[in-house]
């Protein structure tokens, strides 16, 4: 499969998973959504459309987003994500979306040394994590994916911490 | 429509259009394929898969591709595309793929001051151009899009120059 086909499949899985979370009202009643890795801001655009009443806070090293998808200053946190996001520990986020896989095994393995703990520390009990990388943690329960998303394309968890 | 949905639609149109060109054997018998803008190299990966017997030459300002999709040195031309690609004038390329829209009207308008002339100068008679931006030129004939690609999502031309 070409990398173009793989990319289309991954973005489609991401979109379908976020729509599933919205359609099924899976989030706790309160709490912000954290976008871990803003990038071009396309997913941020989708989150704003599907979760219009939530505060959405984005984290990235620097702003590289299209001008139409740049969060307001109070919702954009710049710096090393592993450091800056840790400052939000205990604030009980309703959901975290993280799509920060680099496409290189070694870099992704390094990310996975800190991302699962961070996600658990940020989420409210019952909070939802959608991730492009698998998150292995004793306080995260893997949830079934909606139909049409191949296993391994995207990952869905609920925190019971 | 969210920018994520718009992006999925555009990438899908791009993939379907490239597959259409391959399936219908639309290219002249000889000539290279020019990838104008390598980026992450996902489309280059697809071109290699679908046009395995063609030389594919990529142009970009700098190499930002995934390591699995970096062309051999003799097929990677670095520098300002408008300048470097002009050096290939008259070499009768069989096909050009250009997906260098910036998502900003002013930047795209600037690109369109030079891209159509460049495409015509590079293509062999009967050569094919697939582009994310519309190319208006007296020597380019717009070809019908395959079913499923909404008008305006992607553009297909044949040179009769």
Q: Are A67 and B14 a contacting pair at CB < 8 A?
A: no
Angle between helices A42-50 and B3-23 (to 10 degrees): 120
Closest partner residue to A5 (CB to CB) among B8, B15, B104 is: B15
Interface A–B counts its CB contacts (< 8 A) at: 62
Q: What is the pLDDT of residue B78?
A: 97
Contacts of B96 (CB under 8 A, 6+ apart): B33, B34, B36, B119, B122, B123, B127, B128, B129, B130, B131
- pTM of the predicted model, to two decimals? 0.95
User: CB-CB: which of A8, A14, A69 is closest to B12?
Assistant: A8
**A111-124 mean pLDDT:** 97
Mean pLDDT of A18-23: 98
Higher pLDDT, A141 or A161: A141
pLDDT of residue A86: 92
Pair of tokens at residue B132: 């994310």
pLDDT band for position B161 (cuts 50, 70, 90)? low
Chain A residues in contact with B41 (beta carbon < 8 A):
3
Question: What b/e readout covers A101-124, taking b as 16+ CB neighbours within 10 angstroms?
Answer: beeeeeebeebeeebbebbbbbbb
Q: What is the mean pLDDT of chain B?
A: 96
Residue B122 CA, distance from chain mean position: 12
Q: Which of B161 and A146 is assigned the larger pLDDT? A: A146
Say whether A46 and B5 touch across the interface (CB within 8 A).
Answer: yes
Produce one character per residue of B2-22: b if its CB has 16 or more CB atoms within 10 Å, e if not: bbbbebbebbbbbbbbbebbb
CB A70 within 8 A of CB A63: yes
pLDDT tens, position by position, B38-90: 999 999 999 999 999 999 999 999 999 999 999 999 999 999 999 999 999 98
Chain A environment of B104 (Cβ under 8 Å): 67
For B75-134, write each residue's pLDDT tens digit. 999 999 999 999 999 899 999 999 998 889 999 999 999 999 999 999 999 999 999 999
- What would you report as the CA-atom Rg of chain B, rounded to the nearest whole angstrom? 15
What pLDDT, on a 0 to 100 scale, did the predictor assign at position A161? 67
């Amino acid at each position: 499969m070409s990398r173009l086909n793989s990319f289309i499949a991954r973005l489609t899985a991401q979109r379908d998973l976020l729509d599933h979370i919205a359609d099924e009202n899976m989030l706790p009643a309160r709490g912000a959504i954290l976008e871990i890795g803003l990038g071009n801001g396309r997913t941020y655009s989708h989150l704003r459309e599907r979760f219009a009443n939530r505060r959405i806070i984005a984290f990235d090293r620097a702003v590289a987003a299209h001008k139409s998808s740049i969060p307001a200053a109070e919702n954009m946190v710049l710096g090393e994500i592993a450091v800056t996001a840790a400052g939000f520990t205990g604030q009980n986020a309703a959901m975290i979306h993280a799509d920060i896989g680099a496409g290189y095994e070694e870099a992704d393995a390094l990310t996975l040394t800190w991302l699962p703990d961070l996600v658990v520390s940020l989420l409210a009990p019952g909070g939802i994590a959608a991730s492009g990388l698998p998150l292995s943690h004793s306080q995260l329960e893997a949830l079934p994916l909606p139909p049409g998303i191949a296993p391994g394309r995207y990952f869905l968890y609920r925190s019971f911490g």
